[in-house]
Amino acid sequence: LKFLQAPYGKHHRPGWGPNLSPPLAWFLMESPTLWFTLYLFPFGNNSSNPKSIILITPFLIHYFHRTIIYPL
């Protein structure tokens, strides 16, 4: 890998895989954190504990902004 130039930025060339728009690429990169947290949190032992909900809320707000709002 040290001998190949990464095909993005100034080294971009056609024919090297699919091209994604930057907002879509950002969404795809960041979304698993948000979706897996929303999916797995209810299965946790302390998911109904108010302290857990208070602690997870800023994390979810941050990743909602980072995943949905920022790429727009």
Q: What share of the chain is helix, strand, coil (3-state, %, to 5)?
A: 60, 0, 40
Question: Binning pLDDT at 50, 70 and 90, where does residue 71 land?
Answer: confident
Q: What is the mean pLDDT of the chain?
A: 88
Q: What does the alpha-carbon distance between residue 59 and residue 21 come to, in Å, rounded to a whole number?
A: 26
Phi and psi at residue 69, to the nearest 5°: -80, -50
pLDDT at 1 over 70: no
Give residue-wise pLDDT tens across range 7-35.
777 777 777 778 888 899 899 999 999 99
